[in-house]
Amino acid sequence: MVRAGLEQLLVASGDIEVVGSVADGVTAVDHVRRSRPDVVLMDISLPGLDGIRATAAIKAADPDVRVVMLTSFGDRVRVLAAVDAGAAGYILKEADPEDLLRAVRAAARGESPVSPRAGQALFAARTGRLEAADQLTSRERQVLLLVAEGLVNKQIARRLGISEKTTKAHLTRIYAAIGVSDRTQAALWAERNGLLQDDRTT
């Protein structure tokens, strides 16, 4: 019902063409690859592949697609995760219909529409997270970079000459410091905040 209502709203605008409406993340990724839309409205709570991971997959396949999250979650963890995954905008479902239409048009123009509440969460969390990241030890930074390279805990432990238990302990602190909940989000964070480039130039 929600998707049908959104589709009607978008079609009625007169200047937005709807090329698809799907119910889960896997189907969304597949449909985007085939239809190549300019803008994707993405929910976070999707069955199977959630909206955060679906967004990352879409951006990996086609960096030009503009993904706008449309969700009821405005907490800083989800907002940051969406941005790290490549979302171009973040609109809360409490937004007025006209605000949503403006957000779609803005995203199509290359802008980054963000609901005020989500923007506040993003600013506060980003600032705090970057400050916390500066407090990472050199070893924790090494672990984070290896996570970004795609290494699993056993490989990281072997590379650094430490135990898997120690590796897990480092990851727990890293996740808490940069405000993520898993290694995929940590890898995205490292890439988007320039840690990989910094490592290559030092």
| Distance (Å, whole) CA 144 – CA 136 | 10
Instruction: Report the pLDDT value the prediction gives residue 128, as an integer from 0 to 100.
Output: 55
Of 149, 130, 140, 150, give the one whose Cα is nearest residue 193.
130
* Topology at the third CATH level for domain 2-127: Rossmann fold (3.40.50)
Q: How do residues 87-111 score in pLDDT, each as one tens digit?
A: 999 998 888 999 999 999 999 999 9
Domain range 135-201, its CATH number among 3.40.309.10, 1.10.2020.10, 3.30.70.1710, 1.10.10.10: 1.10.10.10
Check: CB of residue 174 under 8 Å from CB of residue 136: yes
Q: How do residues 166-186 score in pLDDT, each as one tens digit?
A: 999 999 988 888 777 888 888
Domain boundaries, the chain: 2-127, 135-201
Two structure tokens written together for 93? 């479902």
pTM, 2 dp? 0.63
- Along the chain (202 residues), what's the average pLDDT of each consecutive run of 10 residues? 90 93 94 94 91 93 93 79 89 90 95 80 59 77 92 94 94 84 84 62 42
